[in-house]
Amino acid sequence: MADQVLATKALCKDFGQSSVLADVEFSIGKGETVCILGPSGSGKTTLLRCLNLLVEPTSGQLYFRGTLFGEWPLGRGNRNRINLTKYRTHVAMVFQQFELFPHLTACENVSLGPRRVLHLSKEAAKERALSLLDRVGLNAFAEARPRTLSGGQQQRVAIARALAMKPDVILFDEPTSALDWEMVGEVLDIMADLAVQGMTMVVVTHELEFARNCADRVVVMEKGRIIEEGPTAKMFESPNLPRTREILGLADGGSRVRRVPKSSQ
């Protein structure tokens, strides 16, 4: 891939005796939106966490911007080479439970990374934060603390926080699954805008409509493996595997299904 941002080769993750990721070959190119779908426990979160190294792979390789970035099991030599703080400025993550600092205002949550890690001045970091809060429709809430915000608003702050680092890619782990249904749309709308604007995004989601409308490519996982992947239209119109049809809610011919059906979770 010409402008590859992230890729894995033969990526495996074991927790004790259990193999949670097995031989995962994943990649995403600049400007792509890739949705990862799959039943509960299929390893989606673990894959995202391996991609930004919140979880250390057991074996395999991780490529960043086309260059080998890490290879596991790590030897003594390359353990020190990986600068996690710097890496995570490039590979941002948005979590299911927002993970905002409760004692900081929305503006402070967004400006913290640019100040501490990118070493922007207080004024420059605040200016960047305010402009991003504006972009996610929260300019009136810059001084609000997370507990006074709705779940949807908190998740929008978390998206602004991810954007504040000007990352190469944002990894979203089920960003709407902790939200009441009436707030899901406001977060998905922001993500759809980002996709249109060319942000590189990996989105783990059960929101099939979002995947169908916004993803360039869909990856389906089951039992720690990628069982099928392809361009979104092909995946939703004529996937190769019957199991993919089930996971994408197509098995009953129902294109109205909004989420991965419970029976396959």
Only one of the segments 37-45, 60-68, 146-154, 161-169 lies at the binding site for Mg ion (rule: CB under 5 A); that segment is: 37-45
Q: How far is the CB of 42 from ligand ATP (least distance, A)?
A: 4
Record the tokens describing residue 181, joined without a space. 């249904």
Nearer of residues 89 and 205 to Mg ion, judged by Cβ: 205
Q: Are strands 225-231 and 217-222 parallel, antiparallel or unpaired?
A: antiparallel
Burial class (CB in 10 A: 0-12, 13-18, 19+), 177: middle
Only one of the segments 28-36, 45-53, 81-89, 148-156 lies at the binding site for Mg ion (rule: CB under 5 A); that segment is: 45-53
Only one of the segments 43-51, 83-91, 189-197, 250-258 lies at the binding site for Mg ion (rule: CB under 5 A); that segment is: 43-51
Nearer of residues 45 and 205 to Mg ion, judged by Cβ: 45
Q: How far is the CB of 224 from ligand ATP (least distance, A)?
A: 7
Query: Residues touching ligand ATP: how many (CB under 6 A)?
Result: 10
Q: What are phi and psi of 31, to 5 degrees?
A: 85, -5
Alpha carbons 70 and 87: distance in angstroms, whole number:
11
Q: Are 164 and 153 in contact (CB under 8 A)?
A: no
Q: How far is the CB of 103 from ligand ATP (least distance, A)?
A: 27
Record the tokens describing residue 61, joined without a space. 């390789």
Between 15 and 54, how does the x/- string for binding to ligand ATP read (CB under 6 A)?
x----x-----------------x-xxxxxxx--------
Burial class (CB in 10 A: 0-12, 13-18, 19+), 153: buried
Alpha carbons 101 and 248: distance in angstroms, whole number:
35
Q: Are 76 and 37 in contact (CB under 8 A)?
A: no
Among 33, 45, 155, 232, binds Mg ion (CB under 5 A): 45
Alpha carbons 146 and 195: distance in angstroms, whole number:
26
Q: How far is the CB of 47 from ligand ATP (least distance, A)?
A: 7
Residues that bind Mg ion (CB under 5 A): 45
Residues that bind ligand ATP (CB under 6 A): 15, 20, 38, 40-46
